[in-house]
Amino acid sequence: MASINFHRPSCTFATTQSLLRAHPHPPQGWNSSPLGLISKICACPGQQKVSHELFAVPTNREQSSSANDSKPQGAAAANHPASHAASPSPPTTSSATPESVSSFKALPPPLSPEVLVSEALSGQLLSNAKRVFPKVAWGPTQLVQVMAWSTALAVVSVTAAATTPQASVLLASDELRSAAVRHLGLETLCCCLTIAVLYMGLRRSKPRSAGLFRYDVSPQLAMTVVALAAVSYPLADPVLYGIWSGVEQAFGLSNQLPDPGVTLVTQLRDASAGGDGVSIAMHVVASCIVGPFWEETFWRGFFLASLTRVLPPWSCVAISSTVFAGLHLGPGNILPIGALSAICDVLYLRTCTLAAPLILHAGWNAYQLAGILLANKDSFV
């Protein structure tokens, strides 16, 4: 579609008069004055949906007519300064669209399996993530406050886990059920504390108004995450898990690392053997809903987003995934958890919604629980 080059002197007052003659009744909300029309068109040339004629270049007849209207007549023409100047060159037309006139660049398309593969192969995934991810709404003061309160949160969580009565004390008549209650209760406590800390520290910044801490999901995005999970889950476990376990055994580290998942494995097997479906359901809710929700909200929603304030996307992903894997330290865990965390980081930066990494995280935990209950798996990665 032809357009007027608004950045050149050819867009004159006479040209605007031609536009106004072609459109004596402009669309509702438009300023009908020449300067108002120019400012309205130049303000958002890539977004206004107007007719072709409004952006059409005036014909030579209209240009000559406008020039004759503004040319002095009679004796005044001899003394007019314009009569001694060289005749202006005809207006320069451009074949560029209104979008090219503006400095605005179209955002990349929403993430789909095809777009994900295309951007990953072309190396544009993180560059597009940088273009679409919103600016962090909180400043250094809020960052320090939330991190200080988060440290207190970690201390409270560890203390609660250490001092909470064990399963045999909670429900002496049903140890399996009490273990499930304890698991769900601790995850719920961490979730409530996380929400409280983030709200108290960031409420004045209004991060949701800036596009942060969103959880919306479309069917296309859900399908993309499911397709990504179908590829990444088997790659992480058993492939990456087996490779890193072999490295740890070669260096004699397997027996020296803590295994936080061994207790859950034992509790799930006992509940399955005892036919306690309620206990299994409580473990599933704690591991696949409550746990992933507060972890993704704090880690991806706050920590990773805070890194984008000062670092490029690839550095943010490297730091976030490394620290996240370190917090889940266990036999064979570092490599698969680090890889999955990096995928969650990229998903959040590219889609700007926590629903994408949340679905992947919850699905991974469900994948592990299914392996324990159905395939007699002896580890929770």
pLDDT tens digits for range 319-337: 999 999 999 988 899 999 9
Contact 244, 332 (CB under 8 A): yes
Can you give the pLDDT at residue 212? 96
pLDDT above 90 coverage of the chain, percent: 54
pLDDT bucket at 255, cuts 50 / 70 / 90: confident
The token duo for 43 is 């303000």
Hey, which of 220-224, 255-259, 377-381 has the most confident mean pLDDT? 220-224
Residue 21 has pLDDT above 80, yes or no: no
Average pLDDT over residues 283-305: 96
Average pLDDT over residues 166-182: 71
- Dihedral (Cα; 146, 151, 153, 155), 10-degree rounding: -170
- Dihedral (Cα; 199, 203, 209, 210), 10-degree rounding: -90
Can you give the pLDDT at residue 165? 61
Q: In whole angstroms, how far apart are CA 111 and each of 38, 172, 282, 316, 356?
A: 36, 51, 33, 20, 10
Contact 4, 59 (CB under 8 A): no
pLDDT: which is higher, 23 or 358: 358
Of the candidate ranges 46-55, 99-108, 149-158, 245-254, the one whose mean pLDDT is the lowest: 46-55
Can you give the pLDDT at residue 24? 54
Can you give the pLDDT at residue 273? 92
| Average pLDDT score over the chain | 79
The token duo for 124 is 């544009």
Contact 241, 141 (CB under 8 A): no
Q: Which residues contact 300 (CB under 8 A, 6 or more apart)?
A: 320, 344, 345, 348, 354, 357
DSSP 377: -
pLDDT above 70 coverage of the chain, percent: 69
pLDDT: which is higher, 250 or 102: 250
Can you give the pLDDT at residue 170? 53
Of the candidate ranges 112-116, 143-147, 229-233, the one whose mean pLDDT is the lowest: 143-147
First-to-last alpha carbon distance for the chain, in angstroms, is: 56
Average pLDDT over residues 224-237: 97
pLDDT bucket at 59, cuts 50 / 70 / 90: very low
pLDDT bucket at 242, cuts 50 / 70 / 90: very high
Average pLDDT over residues 70-80: 45
Contact 45, 98 (CB under 8 A): yes
Can you give the pLDDT at residue 150? 84
Hey, which of 45-59, 86-100, 147-161, 179-193 has the most confident mean pLDDT? 179-193
Task: Encode pLDDT of 191-215 as tens digits.
Answer: 999 999 999 999 999 999 999 999 9
Can you give the pLDDT at residue 83? 43
Can you give the pLDDT at residue 171? 53
Backbone torsions φ then ψ of 44, nearest 5 degrees: -145, 70
Residue 266 has pLDDT above 70, yes or no: yes
Average pLDDT over residues 8-12: 43
Residue 267 has pLDDT above 50, yes or no: yes
Hey, which of 91-95, 96-100, 159-163, 364-368 has the most confident mean pLDDT? 364-368
SS3 of residue 57 by DSSP: coil
Of the candidate ranges 14-23, 49-58, 114-123, 215-224, the one whose mean pLDDT is the lowest: 49-58
213: left (phi over 0), alpha (psi -120 to 50) or beta: left
Q: In whole angstroms, how far apart are CA 41 and each of 3, 11, 34, 47, 66?
A: 11, 12, 11, 10, 21
Residue 44 has pLDDT above 70, yes or no: no
The CA angle 104-108-110, to the nearest 5 degrees, is 135
The token duo for 248 is 């740890």
